[in-house]
Amino acid sequence: MGKETLTLVFLLICGLLFGSIVGEILKPWIPFLTTSKEITWSPSADLEILKYDLNFQLKLNLASIGGLALAFWIHRRMK
């Protein structure tokens, strides 16, 4: 992974967080921004000598998708 890819991933994660925070702040006035959908992925394996169980959960709402789009736009402007 190159430096540009790491920058993009970092900006997208920050955009998701920023959008979620803004959504929570605006929740009293614009409640539909925080209506969310959860996406989960739980890979696991039991290989006798090694056992793992991971749980990833992504909670998307309209505000976090807006933050994601803003972060992608910022990344495109940085080029």
Domain boundaries, the chain: 3-78
Q: How confident is the model at residue 58 (pLDDT cuts 50, 70, 90)?
A: confident
Q: Is 0.85 surpassed by the pTM of this model?
A: no
**21-32 mean pLDDT:** 92
Q: Which has the closest alpha carbon to 59: 20, 14, 30?
A: 20
In angstroms, what CA-CA distances link 25 with 19, 29, 54?
10, 9, 31
Query: What does the pLDDT read at residue 1?
Result: 66
Question: Above pLDDT 90, what percent of the chain?
Answer: 77
Burial class (CB in 10 A: 0-12, 13-18, 19+), 67: buried
Q: CA–CA separation, 63 vs 33, rounded Å?
A: 5
Distance in angstroms (rounded) separating the CA atoms of residues 79 and 63? 25
